[in-house]
Structure 1
């Protein structure tokens, strides 16, 4: 199982969804013996409504640490997460003492461990219990002073309120959630962000070899979504190009304006396509990578297609050398 792409996807996903509600940090180091927190969340003093995020928004009602897992939790995973939580408590207490103050219980973050599944024996061993009346199924709480909850994604009810957490599941649960995401109206701002992150995950998985059947199924489910978004981006580019061409080309004639607009639109669609591929393979684009986009687009059709097929095997240095 290629865990790292999913780990990065989960961090980016939670950061994008929670940023409107407060301050979000990913991969934050704490303590002398460095432990890395996946997602640290602090709500704003004047919180934004989180109702659009359903159950995830409820988890983010107070300061929180989110630790998402791709595979089922084991004993060591839970203990490691709780170790991070206690390190945070100690860190906040030291900060308060330096300021001649004390930490209020309400200001301590709550730990939310998110896992696709968890065994009954594991949950029982930690004294995890449900509060179905207030939280429904799938959300377990440890003893109050531990300030820890375990979200078992595959036990969550299939409702709109749980959608944003079920997208962090795996297999059929995640694919069902993707189907529901696609059905959301296009004007939903969160939908576009999540689809972009899923498409980036797809591109990263395609670069890897020896994919498991579950990962191949995920790629197959995401492929038509990616193709549709690429077609929409290209069409949007064409329409914008036509409009720009018409506006700029009136003096030169309507016919030339339309031709130029179509050319610009096609080029803009290709640019979006190349940028997404480079971003999926190398992360955020720096000046060097942005500098090869124009030469990339200037290749002949044969060279362009050949380089696309070779891209997954090329390192950053090899790709830059190709254009230098």
Structure 2
């Protein structure tokens, strides 16, 4: 299968996560055995990215153990319960019942905790609690379990096949994974002409013949597994601008990915593809503000997705003529 994919050339920025409050004592938690498979419980109202991460974890457990967990909003005897503080009825219930202390998690940026407790309703069972300060944090917490069972973040892109284990048990320390030292970090898809664009167009996404929502979804999966949160999209002339496909911005929001803009995309305008110098004149706001404003807030960019603007640069060698 490797030959049908590519090796993604990327810049990964500051993916380290601070770890605080380690208990020093690990608790064994059974994920799967010959007669058992864990349940994953998330609130029905959780953000889409949490649902996606739960699905990814369930598939990872299947690939390792041969058994796939059920995902529901019901807490079972032995289960993983994940939720965003203030958004998840399940997690908020543990907090209100004094079974979970989130004082060092609540209100923080991309911070989550892992903790194993006795099941309050069945002392013979155990609950692995994942409490996130925001939607991305909860997703990161779920995918931390994937790491713990031996699944590489590169399992799809680089065909890293995890070791199979019929009896799958992890040692969990009660700990808090604090806010990353770099707030916005991720991948810039640059020089895609020779690799990603051609591979996507001919192999993975022939329906668009381009890097479109299907390809971006797999890139965003990688970002979540790497605890990253930002994409600087492909922007060479061989690729249609990110906002050309309406589905791209929806997929970005589903995966809680911030959309950045590179040196060729000032103010969300891809000047390789969306700016015609012959018809629109020079790309510079100081002398051509009326035409340049066309790219500032076009209708197609309106979406519930976080964006990072690259400021206008009026330096001679940065102007597209």
In the superposition, the TM-score normalised over structure 1's length comes to 0.26
More strand by share: 2
In the superposition, the TM-score normalised over structure 2's length comes to 0.26
Structure showing greater radius of gyration is 1
